[in-house]
Amino acid sequence: MSKLRIVLLAPDLHPDSCSTALVGYSHSEALARLHAVTLVTRRRNAEAVRRRRAPFHAIEAISLPWLDRINDWSFRRIFRNSYTSQALTAFNYPFSLAFEWCAWRHMRTRIMAGEFDVILRLMPITAVLPSPFAFFLRRGPIPFVVGPVNGGLPWPKGFPQAKREKEWISKLRNCYRLLPFARSTYRYSSAIIAGSSHTYSEFAAYREKLFFVPENGVSRFLLDSARPSARREGKLELIFVGGLVPIKGCDLALRAAASLLRRGLARFTIVGDGPERARLELLARSLGIEEAVLFRGMLPHSEAMKCMREGDVFVFPSIRDFGAGVVFEALAMGVVPIVVDFGGPGDIVHSEVGYKVALTNESDVVGQMEKILSELDSNRTLLDKLRQQGMRYARECLSWDGKAQIMTQILTWAVGRGQKPALQPPKRVRLQNC
């Protein structure tokens, strides 16, 4: 297979950040190990990428000094550094458009001269921010591919955690289709890559060029750092890693684990911080489990992964999660996940590597998880079997290197050099009803 010459659009990737910025960098780096990737990113991120000495063919830095200053100030002062704010996504629309317009002006001559084979718009990940590149390339000379894109997951009913976090602007999400370039982004794309079953169903009209590839992946380092074997004796080590915000469901995890914790059969480590921390500490005291629960607060990623490595079970009942990269990390490190069957976690976890509980109502979710925890505590052989299968699953299916190979199949098909890969989501999507 010959290398592809790829222009990769990723304005906000960063190797030293977290969340989608780190996802974007990890994905880009994996592709650069296989192809001649010209990375197009913001100037403020380019130096950090160069310091990593990743094998990019070239790094093109786009400078928007005044707009960047406005964006940075607004992110800190108005949105309080909240990456999950839907209002922030809407606010970013003109900044995203400005970046791609400048990137097009910067790269246009070389693109039209045939210097590249394909354009891959990797970031932003959200599906509601359109790309003018698809319109500019509607008559060639090279294909435009977008994704993995994600988002749009409905807010579950019957959960007070969702009510406390739902934003008014979520009701206006579908208005993005009226924005300039919104329709042309997907109409003129040669391939659309969906990062979740839900997003796949949203783009069912484009099924002939639609593929499913999970948004996240795991690094080689994590795959090599898991414990060689599970504990056969001693307390069950439970862990939660994530922001302490309502929709992450840490309160549900504490309530589900309370019975084991009160009887001295388990310990619970909580890694993360957020506005819910005081309420969660109060909940632990009211349940009589405060001595068995350790709040570690916000930790650097490397320290958080050390905590993860010591866990047996990852209790993560997030009721609205898109990519769920932390679930990938748990599987890679041999920690058995318990998740809710909704969104990203429900796409990734299956019965041979962990558990997913039905998203019914608050008390039922707690009851389902309590039963699972009791079973794992009494059956350490099953726990070890699941962790071994989870690590193998992560190595074979969830690594960034494996993901780059899958993306290569899509890009090769898009440029007309290979067969169309069959990449549908794990959940059956009734396309005829969409």
Pair 336, 352: CB distance under 8 Å: no
CATH 3.40.50.2000 segments of the chain: 5-217+400-433, 220-397
3-state class of 420 per DSSP?
coil
| Tokens 């309590």 belong to residue | 370
Q: Would you report the helix, strand and coil content of the chain in percent, each value rounded to 5?
A: 50, 15, 35
Indicate the SS3 state at residue 6: strand
Tokens of 157: 């009913």
Please give the span between the terminal C-alpha atoms of the chain, in angstroms, as a whole number. 37
Output the CATH code of domain 5-217+400-433: 3.40.50.2000
In 34-64, which ranges are continuous DSSP H helix?
43-51
Order the strands of the 313-316 sheet from edge to edge.
Answer: 293-297, 266-271, 236-241, 313-316, 336-340, 355-357
Residues 83, 124 contacting (CB under 8 angstroms) = no
The residues near 159 (Cβ < 8 Å, ≥ 6 apart) are: 319, 361, 362
What single DSSP character describes residue 8? Answer: E
Buried b (16+ CB within 10 A) or exposed e, 308-340: bbebbbbbbbbbbbbbbbbbbbbbbbbbbbbbb
Location of structure tokens 């809710």:
340
Instruction: Please tell me the total number of residues recorded for the chain in this structure.
Output: 434
Q: What is the pLDDT of residue 434?
A: 25
- Nearest-5° angle of CA 281, CA 287, CA 292? 65
Residue with tokens 């550094």: 81
Reported as a single tens digit per residue, the pLDDT across 314-323 is 999 998 887 7
CA 24 to each of CA 31, 169, 312: distance values in angstroms, whole numbers, following the listed order: 11, 26, 29
Tally DSSP H helices, then E strands, for the chain.
18, 13
Q: What is the rounded distance in angstroms from the CA atom of residue 194 to the CA atom of residue 354?
A: 24
Q: Which token pair is 156?
A: 């579950």
At 16 the pLDDT is: 82
Q: SS3 of 245, please?
A: coil
pLDDT number for residue 432: 32
Q: Is the peptide bond before 141 cis (omega within 30 degrees of 0)?
A: yes
CA dihedral of residues 224, 227, 229, 230 (deg, nearest 10): -140
pLDDT of residue 405: 94
The secondary structure of residue 208, as a DSSP letter, is G
How far is it, in rounded angstroms, from Cα 89 to Cα 96? 10
Residue among 53, 54, 3, 51 at smallest CA distance from 27 = 54
Which positions of the chain have pLDDT values less than 70? 1, 18, 75, 78-88, 90, 161-178, 227-232, 426-434
Taking the C-alpha atoms of residue 16 and residue 123, their distance in angstroms, rounded to an integer, is 17
Q: Which fold has domain 220-397?
A: Rossmann fold (3.40.50)
Would you say 174 and 194 are in contact if contact means Cβ atoms under 8 Å apart? no
CA 315/CA 317 separation, integer angstroms: 6
CA distance 277 to 273: 6
* CA 326, 75, 24, 96 torsion-angle sign: positive
